[in-house]
């Protein structure tokens, strides 16, 4: 359940960042939010259904000590599908960012002087790389569970969503730092079309002295 909440929250953060590239287009916002809602609902259903299939039960390991165990192994297909879904959603967000970034690159002849745009693109690619790593590790751990339990446990640990949780905090930090670098290091770009990227920047007013 924790991994589900972690991934959904980070996907929502990235959704907001993607919409910044598209001037907060209403139709795109609605579509992406619906897809995010579907991802959350489907993964929640898989989590509940998978738990029921495993038939959880209580087992005693010592006098006065009991643990929760499963009578059946987790469903291989459900485990694979539950990690394919966030990977697919992440790919959609990445494609949207890369498409807009390509247009922005042509208009501005690169990202020199546009730290905020560069940070957004870099973090999006970095996050998607971590999603692939976690998803592939989880999927492989399920596939080889019967062949090599030890290797399966190692891959399962390598694909821990904790990495995504740490990255989520770093995404916000990077974005905040990029926005605070000032006019020379920030983003100040005049769009040539309605769908072009628009970033606002707060400028500090000179202090006034009264004598």
DSSP the chain: -HHHHHHHHHHHHHHHHHHHHTTT-HHHHHHHHHHHHHHHHHHHHHHHHHHHHT-EEEEEEETTEEEEEESSPPPHHHHHHHHHHHHHHHHHHHHHHHHHHHHHHHHHTSSTT-HHHHHHHHHHHHHHHHHHHHHHHHHHHHHTTTT-HHHHHHHHHHT-THHHHHHHHHHHHHHHHHHTS-TTTS-----SSTTS-----PPPPPP----
Burial class (CB in 10 A: 0-12, 13-18, 19+), 192: exposed
- Within its chain, how far is the Cα of 117 from the centroid? 18
Contact 61, 93 (CB under 8 A): no
Q: Which residue has the higher pLDDT, 95 or 56?
A: 95
- Does any domain span residue 173? yes
Share of the chain above pLDDT 90, in %: 4
Give the tens place of pLDDT for each residue, 110-148.
555 556 677 777 777 777 777 777 777 877 777 777 777
Distances (CA, A) of 171 to 43, 77, 92, 109, 145: 24, 32, 18, 25, 33
Tell me how far apart the alpha carbons of residues 171 and 117 are, in angstroms, rounded to a whole number: 13
Domain residue limits at 49: 2-179
- Does any domain span residue 100? yes
Look at residue 191 in the predicted model and tell me its pLDDT: 45
Average pLDDT value over all residues in the chain: 70
- Does any domain span residue 83? yes
- Does any domain span residue 42? yes
pTM assigned to the model:
0.64
- Does any domain span residue 105? yes
Q: Which residue has the higher pLDDT, 115 or 189?
A: 115
How many domains in the chain?
Answer: 1
Look at residue 208 in the predicted model and tell me its pLDDT: 41
- Does any domain span residue 209? no
Look at residue 31 in the predicted model and tell me its pLDDT: 93
Tell me how far apart the alpha carbons of residues 107 and 110 are, in angstroms, rounded to a whole number: 8
Look at residue 59 in the predicted model and tell me its pLDDT: 61
Mean pLDDT calculated for residue range 38-63: 74
Interhelix angle 2-21/76-108, nearest 10 degrees: 20
pLDDT band per the 50, 70, 90 thresholds, residue 1: low
Interhelix angle 162-179/2-21, nearest 10 degrees: 30
């Amino acid at each position: 359940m924790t991994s589900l909440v972690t991934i959904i929250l980070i996907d929502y953060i990235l959704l907001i960042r993607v919409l910044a590239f598209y001037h907060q287009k209403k139709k795109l916002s609605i579509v992406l939010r619906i897809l995010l809602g579907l991802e959350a609902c489907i993964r929640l259903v898989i989590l509940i259904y998978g738990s029921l299939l495993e038939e959880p039960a209580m087992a005693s390991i010592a006098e006065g000590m009991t643990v929760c165990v499963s009578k059946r192994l987790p469903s291989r297909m459900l485990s694979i599908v539950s990690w394919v879904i966030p990977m697919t959603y992440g790919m959609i967000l990445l494609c949207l960012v890369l498409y807009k970034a390509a247009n922005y690159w042509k208009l501005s002849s690169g990202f020199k002087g546009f730290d905020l745009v560069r940070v957004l693109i870099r973090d999006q690619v970095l996050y998607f790389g971590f999603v692939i790593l976690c998803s592939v590790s989880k999927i492989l751990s399920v596939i080889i569970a019967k062949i090599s339990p030890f290797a399966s446990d190692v891959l399962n640990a390598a694909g821990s969503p904790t990495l995504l949780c740490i990255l989520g905090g770093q995404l916000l930090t990077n974005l905040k730092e990029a926005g605070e670098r000032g006019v020379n290091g920030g983003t100040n770009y005049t769009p040539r079309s309605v769908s072009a990227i628009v970033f606002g920047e707060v400028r500090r007013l000179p202090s006034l002295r009264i004598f």
